[in-house]
Amino acid sequence: MFRPTRAPAVRPAGSSWARRTAVRRTAGAVLTAVVALGPAACGEDTPASSSSSSPSAGSSTAAVSGTVNVFAAASLTGTFTQLGKDFEAAHPGVKVVFNFAGSSALATQINSGAPADVFASAAPKNMDQVTDKATPTTFVKNVLEIAVPKGNPGQITGLKDFTDKNRKIALCAAQVPCGAAAGKVFAAAQLTPQPDSLEQDVKAALTKVSLGEVDAALVYKTDVLAAEDKVEGIAFPESAQAVNEYPIATLTKAPNADGAKAFVDFVLSAEGKKVLSEAGFDAP
């Protein structure tokens, strides 16, 4: 039987059905636009900006590891040994290995290819001799002082006693920073010393005094403080004519570049400065 086809119902434009249909169509269009635009539409970084902020993009976030080889002047033995322990505590698993000697000897070793990461010298002259270095930073100053055995058996009173051939005197060799500084103070005092021995670093000169093998030696103020249970110190005005500046630098071919930079930063930090100041070093 033939049945007439029904015409689709016409809904008034203002009806609730029409309004619901319009909302669904609008929402669908918005969703389509968001999908097309991708993460940027939601305020997320693009892949390029995400990679630029990744920790691997910069070396400053690199973890310190391995062994850090530090070549340091003999007069830094006490303070750097302490700083090494503190640095290792702050970076578990890292080992700091020191080579303490006269700055001139250390410079020669580095230029000969010794595997050093950091060089801390007792004088700019020896730092300048090292060709494989970054820009050095002066981190402390030091002055000379007369060291005598406890009780001062040689009755040393000042620099003039270093000219007495009847007294046993120890000085650092001229190529060592403490020896070069001694030359300046004797020139300022217009005196010619009569040393019985010339030592290759300041610790060797100090040892002569602490063992009572000499009546006096010229060493750094910090060395006298470090050995105050065995020696006594005598200050003298001419020491102001030979203030030693200590520079520190990473080496450009350092086997452990990240460790080198981290150690130097630690020495220059507030914690490092505190250790050095308590040992008697002056601020640069």
Question: Would you identify the CATH topology of the domain 144-241?
Answer: D-Maltodextrin-Binding Protein; domain 2 (3.40.190)
> pLDDT tens digits for 71-115?
999 999 999 999 999 999 999 999 999 999 999 999 999 999 999
- Kindly state the average pLDDT of the residues 158-178: 97
- State the DSSP string of the chain: ---PPPPPPPPPTTSHHHHHHHHHHHHHHHHHHHHHHGGGGGTPPPHHHHHHTSGGG-GGGPPP-SEEEEEEEGGGHHHHHHHHHHHHHHSTT-EEEEEEE-HHHHHHHHHTT---SEEE-SSHHHHHT-SS----EEEEEE-EEEEEETT-TT---SGGGGG-TTS-EEEE-TTSHHHHHHHHHHHHHT-----SEEESSHHHHHHHHHTTSSSEEEEEHHHHHHTTTTEEEE--GGGGG-PEEEEEEE-TT-TTHHHHHHHHHHHHSHHHHHHHHHTTPBP-
For the chain, the structural domain boundaries read: 65-141+245-278, 144-241
Q: Where residue 63 falls among pLDDT bands split at 50, 70, 90?
A: confident
In whole angstroms, give the CA distance from residue 268 to residue 284.
11
Bridge partner residues of 73 (DSSP) = 101
The region of weakest confidence among 20-24, 124-128, 189-193, 260-264 is 20-24
Supply the pLDDT for residue 233.
Answer: 97
* % of the chain beyond a pLDDT of 90: 77
pLDDT at 133 over 60: yes
What are 217-274's pLDDT values in tens digits? 999 999 999 999 999 999 999 999 999 999 999 999 999 999 999 999 999 999 999 9
Decide if domain 65-141+245-278 falls under CATH 3.40.50.9100: no
* Rounded mean pLDDT, 25-46: 39
Does 144-241 match 65-141+245-278 at the fold level?
A: yes
pLDDT of amino acid 50: 32
Percentage of the chain lying above the pLDDT 70 cut:
78
Residue 276, pLDDT > 60, answer: yes
**Which pLDDT belongs to residue 4?**
41
Task: Determine the pLDDT at residue 130.
Answer: 96
Distances (CA, A) of 106 to 68, 112, 116, 197, 251: 16, 10, 10, 21, 13
Q: pLDDT class for 62, splitting at 50, 70, 90?
A: low
pLDDT averaged over every residue in the chain = 84
Question: pLDDT confidence of 12, banded at 50, 70, 90?
Answer: very low
